[in-house]
C-alpha cells in the first residue's frame, strides 16, 4: 500500500516544563474587549463562505449541502458545507488507511510537534476562533474563550502524555531479557463530536487520536461544522499530512452510521445523546465480514446532573454555583446543573435568593456579550419549551418559563426555574439540555443523596456543605464521574478534572486525564532475549 509523505517542515520542539493550563481572557479589560470586538467584526465579514470536504488532503464538493446558521440570527448563514453521504465512506476510509501506513510509523516526537504547532497557532488567533463560536453556536465571549483555551490545553497536555507513554518502563526485567511495553496506535477512528463544545471536544478527540498515531474520519455535528473546518485548516497549516484527518460533515443516519458500521473502522469516539451513543455501541458490537477486531467505543452521552445544598451550606455560594452551573451557555452542557436538591430547612430562603440571582441574567445576542445567547436550533427550542410545560404541571415556575421574545429573532428562552418538582417525574429524570432548572426538596442529607443517585445518568454532581462527614459520604456515595465539593458542577479543567461519567453518561472516558490516551492505543509487550 502506498504511503503518504509528510511535507517538509522545520521540527518544532515541545514546550519545556510541566503542563500549565492556558490562561483565560479577562474581558473586563478594555484592551481584551477591543480585541474581541475586532475579531467579531472580522469573522462577521467571512460569514456565508463555502467549505469543502477534505478527503486524503483533497477538496471535494457535493450536490447536497449543509447550511450552518447563527442561532441568535437564524437568517444569517455562518457557513455552507458539502454534505458527505454513503458514497464518501469508502474514499474517506481508503485515504485514512493509506495515511495510517506512514503516520503510525512516524516518531512520537514528530506527532507531538504537530500538536504543539496547532496550539501555538490557536494562541495567535484565539480571539478569531472565539468569534466563530459566538456566531455558530451562540456562546458568549467567556464561554467561547473557555472552549478555545481547553482546545489549546489538549494540544499541550496530550503531547506530553504521548511522550510519557512512549517512555513507559516495566517494573520487572527478566534475567537475560530486555522487556519493554509499547503503546501502538489502533488504526482508523471515527470521531463524532457534538455541537456544544464544537472546538474543545471535537479537537480533543481528534488530537488524542492522531498524537497516538491513528488516522481519523471526522464527522462534526451539522449544527457546528464551520469551527471544525477552521480547525482542520489549522492542522493542515501546521503540517499535517493528507489523509490523517478527513473532514466529512454529513448526516448521522447516512454517513455517520455507515462509518461506524464499516469493518475497517477500528474505534469510534463519540460525544452526544444517550440514544445515539447506544445505537453506536450496538452497531460497533456487531462483527462484519472483513473485520479483524472488536471495535472500541469511547462514548460520552450526557447527564442529569444534580447539586445538593445541605442545610449548613454557605447559601450565597450555593446559589451562585447553582445559577452558573444551570444557565451557563444556556444550560447546553452535559455537565450542567439541571437538578438542585435543597434541604427543606433552607428551601424557601434558597428559592428566594435563587430567583433574585437568576433574574439578573441577561439574554441576547452573544456578539454583544450577553450572558445567555440562543439555544442551538428551532427543534431544540421546541423540545425545551415542551419540557417547561411538563414542569409547569408538576411544579411551579419561580422565574422564566417562556421564550425570551425581546432578545431578538433567534432561538432565545428565558432562564427558567421550576420548584417543587417531585422525584421520578420527567423533568427530574430526563435530560432537557436547555436553560431549565428543576428544584427538588429533600427531607435530609440521606434523602438528598438518594434523589441525586436515582437516575440512569452519572456524569457530574456537586455538594454544598460545611460538614466533613457529609463531604466524605458524598465522595463515597454520590455516584458520578466528576464530583465537586462546595463549587459549581461545570468547568472541568484539563489536568485537574479528568472528564467522563458513569452509567448512561458513557464509558467514563476521562478526557484531559492521564488515562485518556490508553483508549486510543493498544499495549504491545516485547520480551527480547539478549544475545
Q: Evaluate whether 153 touches 491 at the Cβ level (below 8 Å).
A: no
In contact, 191 and 218? CB cutoff 8 Å: yes
Sheet (strand 65-70) strand order? 49-51, 73-82, 65-70
Q: CA 20, CA 160: separation in Å to the nearest integer?
A: 11
CB 33 within 8 A of CB 211: no
Query: Does residue 81 contact residue 68 with C-beta atoms inside 8 Å?
Result: yes
Considering only CA atoms, which of 416, 417, 440 is closest in space to residue 428? 440
CA distances (Å), 20 to each of 16, 155, 160, 359, 488, in order? 11, 11, 11, 36, 22
Instruction: Please tell me whether residue 47 adopts helix, strand or coil conformation.
Output: coil
CB 219 within 8 A of CB 205: no
In 145-290, beta strands by DSSP E: 177-185, 188-192, 215-218, 245-247, 265-271
Do the beta carbons of residue 111 and residue 211 sit within 8 Å? yes
The full length of the chain comes to 531
Stated as kind and residue range, the H or E segment containing 245 is: strand 245-247
Neighbours of 163 (CB within 10 A): 15
Strand 58-60 relative to strand 396-399, pairing = unpaired
CA angle 251, 212, 5 (to 5 degrees): 85
Cell of 331: 444550560
Strands 215-218 and 188-192: parallel
49-51 and 73-82 beta bridge pairing:
parallel
Q: Please tell me the distance from the alpha carbon of residue 257 to that of residue 507, in angstroms, as a whole number.
A: 20
Q: CB count, 10 Å around CB of 102?
A: 18
Catalytic sites, residue numbers:
300, 334
Measure the CA–CA gap between 103 and 5, rounded to whole angstroms.
9
In 499-522, which positions are buried (b, 16+ CB within 10 angstroms) versus exposed (e)? Answer: bbbbbbbbbbbbbbbeebbebbbb
Amino acid at each position: 500500500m502506498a504511503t503518504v509523505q509528510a511535507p517538509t517542515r522545520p521540527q518544532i520542539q515541545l514546550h519545556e516544563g510541566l503542563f500549565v493550563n492556558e490562561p483565560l481572557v479577562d474581558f473586563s479589560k478594555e484592551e481584551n474587549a477591543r480585541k474581541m470586538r475586532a475579531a467579531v467584526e472580522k469573522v462577521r465579514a467571512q460569514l456565508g463562505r463555502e467549505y469543502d470536504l477534505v478527503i486524503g488532503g483533497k477538496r471535494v464538493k457535493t450536490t447536497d449541502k449543509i447550511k450552518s446558521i447563527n442561532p441568535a440570527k437564524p437568517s444569517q448563514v455562518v457557513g455552507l458545507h458539502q454534505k458527505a453521504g454513503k458514497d464518501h465512506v469508502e474514499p474517506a476510509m481508503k485515504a485514512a488507511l493509506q495515511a495510517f501506513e506512514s503516520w503510525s510509523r512516524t516518531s512520537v516526537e514528530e506527532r507531538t510537534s504537530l500538536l504543539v504547532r496547532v496550539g501555538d497557532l490557536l494562541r495567535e488567533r484565539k480571539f478569531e476562533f472565539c468569534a466563530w463560536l459566538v456566531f455558530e453556536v451562540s456562546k458568549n465571549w467567556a464561554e467561547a474563550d473557555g472552549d478555545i483555551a481547553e482546545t489549546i490545553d489538549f494540544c499541550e497536555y496530550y503531547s506530553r502524555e504521548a511522550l510519557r507513554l512512549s517512555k513507559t518502563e516495566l517494573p520487572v526485567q527478566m534475567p537475560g531479557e530486555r522487556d519493554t511495553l509499547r503503546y501502538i496506535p489502533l488504526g482508523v477512528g471515527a470521531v463524532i463530536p457534538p455541537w456544544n463544545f464544537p472546538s474543545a471536544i471535537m479537537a480533543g478527540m481528534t488530537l488524542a487520536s492522531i498524537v497516538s498515531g491513528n488516522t481519523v474520519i471526522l464527522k462534526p455535528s451539522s449544527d457546528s461544522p464551520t469551527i471544525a473546518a477552521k480547525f482542520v485548516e489549522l492542522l493542515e497549516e501546521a503540517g499535517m499530512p493528507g489523509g490523517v484527518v478527513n473532514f466529512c460533515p454529513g448526516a448521522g443516519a447516512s454517513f455517520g452510521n455507515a462509518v461506524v458500521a464499516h469493518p475497517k473502522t477500528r474505534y469510534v469516539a463519540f460525544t452526544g445523546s444517550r440514544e445515539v451513543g447506544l445505537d453506536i455501541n450496538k452497531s460497533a458490537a456487531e462483527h462484519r465480514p472483513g473485520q479483524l477486531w472488536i471495535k472500541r467505543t469511547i462514548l460520552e452521552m450526557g447527564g442529569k446532573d444534580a447539586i445538593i445544598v445541605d442545610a449548613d451550606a454557605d447559601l450565597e455560594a450555593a446559589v451562585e454555583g447553582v445559577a452558573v452551573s444551570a444557565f451557563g451557555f444556556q444550560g447546553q452542557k452535559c455537565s450542567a446543573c439541571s437538578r438542585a436538591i435543597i434541604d427543606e430547612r433552607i428551601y424557601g430562603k434558597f428559592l428566594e435568593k435563587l430567583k433574585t440571582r437568576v433574574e439578573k441574567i441577561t439574554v441576547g445576542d452573544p456578539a454583544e456579550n450577553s450572558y445567555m445567547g440562543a439555544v442551538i436550533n428551532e427543534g431544540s427550542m421546541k423540545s425545551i419549551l415542551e419540557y417547561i410545560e411538563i414542569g409547569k404541571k408538576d411544579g411551579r415556575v419561580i422565574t422564566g418559563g417562556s421564550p425570551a421574545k425581546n432578545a431578538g429573532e433567534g432561538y432565545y428562552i428565558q432562564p427558567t426555574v421550576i420548584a417543587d418538582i417531585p422525584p421520578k417525574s420527567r423533568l427530574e429524570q430526563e435530560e432537557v439540555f436547555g436553560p431549565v432548572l428543576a428544584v427538588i426538596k429533600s427531607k435530609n442529607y440521606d434523602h438528598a443523596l438518594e434523589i441525586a443517585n436515582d437516575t440512569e445518568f452519572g456524569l457530574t454532581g456537586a455538594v454544598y456543605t460545611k460538614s466533613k462527614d457529609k463531604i466524605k459520604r458524598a465522595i463515597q456515595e454520590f455516584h458520578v464521574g466528576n464530583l465537586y465539593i462546595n463549587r459549581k458542577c461545570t468547568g472541568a479543567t484539563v489536568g485537574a478534572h479528568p472528564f467522563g461519567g458513569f452509567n448512561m453518561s458513557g464509558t467514563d472516558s476521562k478526557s484531559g486525564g492521564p488515562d485518556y490516551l490508553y483508549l486510543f492505543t493498544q499495549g504491545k509487550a516485547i520480551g527480547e532475549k539478549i544475545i
